[in-house]
Amino acid sequence: MKLALNFLPCKSFKKKLVAYFTLKFIIKGFMISILLSLFIFLDLLNLKYIANLGLLSAIIGLYILLKSDRKIWFWSGFFIGLFWFYWISFSLVYYNFGYLIPIEILGICLIYGSIFLAVSWLESIYIKAIFLLFASYVAPFGFDWLNFELIFVDTLFKPTIYTLALVLISIIIAIKFNIYIGISLLICSLAINYNYKTESKSLPFDISLISTNISQDKIWERSIKDKIVKSNLDMIDQAISDGSRIVVLPESSFPLFLDHSEILLSVLKQKSYQIAIVAGALGANNNKIYNSTYLFDKGEIKRLDKLILVPFGEEIPLPNFIKNLINEIFFDSAVDYSHANSVSDYEIDGVKIRNAICYEATKDELFKDNPKFMIAISNNAWFSPSTQPNLQSKLLKLKAYKYKTTIYHSINGSPSQMITP
């Protein structure tokens, strides 16, 4: 009898755990995550007004999610992790760890499933709604791309936290009190947050945004380095012929330590008397490596280093003893990138421009003092083909609207774009 009693807690835990793997809960969580992720995949169609369908889908998903219990919340978070962030694992291919992709995807799913489970544990609809409102502040390792304000980007409505708050309040009223009152409030909330288009500001001179499509496994090959450099110089010459004041090339467009390449520096410096050149390359000094933007203008050279590094891509955000072990196993004992100490600006013809490199362009810290203009450079080939460029673009549009910043984005691996508030 005593032996049986000793096993009761274990059996009880096992019973509760097994309950989470009921097919009904898994399917419902899967369907909710599809509703909350559809707006990302619809963006692939590149159709006008299609984002409004994604918004409708997301609102239905939020309604069902807020009505659901914690078992369904776990699976909803699990599959949201899958549909929003599956592409993070694709970079493993370029470190010869492609076979670990399923494991990393599972890890991502479990992280977000656990977050959703923790939030739903108190079974309070109000706490759940607050989490959905401020989801971007729950950022594993600083990665804050889970943001439900994104469902309003490219729609007829303002992509703000206030719009999301009113939608969530409407859903709560529909669930807790009266569905017709909730729907009426929802319609009114969207109506008062209609996004009237205003005239956007652009740079007062012509700019050439270069798009390239070099696969990640080719960028750093020594055998084609000269070919890449020549192609870049040809594109700069074309921009000069087009009469542009500035030409922008993507992140890592020059796959080398540019500040240690004296001949190439001299060539770019000479061309900068005809056009300002912004390009991505590596930088190094004092035994530190930087992901950098280089500006060449009127014979002057300026290097601007990345401020916010990609977690597990450019730095390991863990204690040193774990960081060193991971770098030894996965990155051939390579050291983390170093970073700048503050945001970087530069001026062209008296116009101040904020510098941003890829991931950091989606971070609030880069929009300190509400810059009017930002030039961002990215290398999305790490995650190609995937929906990463679509999610990144929506995040940049969200920040552009929030801070009233016009963003010029030059990209390798997906189309470059100008984003207005």
- Residues belonging to the active site: 251, 306, 358
Chain center to CA of 133: 18
The Cα-based distances of 6 to 11, 14, 254, 412 in angstroms read: 10, 14, 65, 60
Taking the C-alpha atoms of residue 35 and residue 200, their distance in angstroms, rounded to an integer, is: 32
Amino acid letter, 160: T
- CA 248 to CA 8: how far, in whole Å? 66
